[in-house]
Amino acid sequence: MMDNPLVSLATISLIFIGAMLLYQGFSYFSNQFILFQKEPLYNQSNFTNNVEACGDTLDCALAKASMEKKTVIIAIVNRAYVEQDVESETTMLDIFLASFWLGEGTRSLIHHILLVAVDQIAYDRCKFLKMNCFRLETDGVDFKGEKIYMSQDFIKMMWRRTQFLLEVLKHGYNFIFTDTDVMWLRDPFTRLSKNETEDLQISVDAYLGDPWLERHPINTGFYFVRSNNKTISLFEKWYGQKDNSKGKKEQDVLFDLIRSGIIRHLGLRVRFLDTLYFSGFCQDSRDFRAVITVHANCCRSITAKEADMKTSLSDWKRFKKLEANSSVSPKWTSHKWCKQSWGRPLKVKD
């Protein structure tokens, strides 16, 4: 009975509030439902977990680092690239990674780098950085010290890397191979040709004006290769030269293979990359607004590279501070440590 008007008012209010709550609750849940349907976060997380569980095999490592179309970025590190000298406050790997942070559109690429460690310290450092790591074992060889240009160990390590990269191609992955003395200032995939008939796109020390000219001085410190039968054959031929190319590094061997006509022989399409975009200390990019990568090539020691790379990153930061409409065209600071590195006795990281 609702004789008391106050009681009935209260009751009506309660019913009203109840209805409101019910309605809000319903719309809350239906929103949740819609959200759930719109954003299947679950795919991603369970994909990661699946991969996490499959250990450190190459297949897993590649799957974990891969972007769409089975493509990864591969860099190889040893102790000398990850461990600080007593008197230095940085490492090659740190500078390499700093470039991904400072570059334009390069930050998310870090998830697609597979860092291949040739010794335990490099592997531990990689794990510490929570990157995608792969431990490359080599029987009976210690790759942990700095490998001086063209020393026996330097050449051995180079060949091991060619063999490993052949494996990656055989697993069906396209990849960018990058040395860690290459600074990534913009996303290379915005500039590399997307035409799938182009099997190999490789950087050069000096660009000769025609992307198809085979006598370019190639640089194997940065290239993009697609996985197919032709490129697998190329890497097999290349690695096959290991034992009859005394004193030559793998880059020279590939150069010689190209000169002797392997591109036509295998029906490959190889594009030589313009240093306007894919530049280095041998030939600076003419344009800060176009540059994609800067390689510390034409340089003999890690210490000299580190010093000049830091300077180049400062140049880049100065460029980024300019107004978009600025007409100033900045210049790269001279790479003085690298220039001197050829003439003086080396202080080597051990």
Ligand X SMILES: *[C@@H]1O[C@H](CO)[C@@H](O)[C@H](O)[C@H]1NC(C)=O
- Kindly list the residues in this chain that would bind ligand X in the complex (CB under 6 A): 40, 43, 46-47, 50, 195, 197, 228-229, 323, 325
How many whole angstroms from its chain centre is CA 205? 19
Instruction: Choose between 89 and 323: whose C-beta lies nearer to ligand X.
Output: 323
Q: How far is the CB of 119 from ligand X (least distance, A)?
A: 34
Instruction: Choose between 8 and 50: whose C-beta lies nearer to ligand X.
Output: 50
Dist CA 73 CA 174 (whole Å): 9
Q: How far is the CB of 348 from ligand X (least distance, A)?
A: 44
Give the DSSP letter string of 284-315. --S-TTT--EEE--S---HHHHHHHHHHHHHH
Q: How far is the CB of 318 from ligand X (least distance, A)?
A: 17
Instruction: Choose between 243 and 323: whose C-beta lies nearer to ligand X.
Output: 323
What are the angstrom distances between the C-alpha of 350 and each of 30, 85, 141, 143, 303? 63, 9, 15, 10, 12
Instruction: Choose between 244 and 325: whose C-beta lies nearer to ligand X.
Output: 325
Hey, how many other C-beta atoms are within 10 angstroms of the C-beta on 315?
Answer: 17
Q: How far is the CB of 174 from ligand X (least distance, A)?
A: 13
Contacts of residues 339-348 at CB distance under 8 Å and 24 or more positions apart, as own/partner, are: 340/304, 341/299, 341/300, 341/301, 341/304, 342/300, 346/148, 346/300, 346/301, 347/301, 347/303, 348/145, 348/146, 348/148, 348/301
Q: How far is the CB of 270 from ligand X (least distance, A)?
A: 13
Q: How far is the CB of 195 from ligand X (least distance, A)?
A: 4
Instruction: Choose between 104 and 196: whose C-beta lies nearer to ligand X.
Output: 196
Q: Which two tokens stand for residue 104?
A: 């334009």
Instruction: Choose between 5 and 40: whose C-beta lies nearer to ligand X.
Output: 40
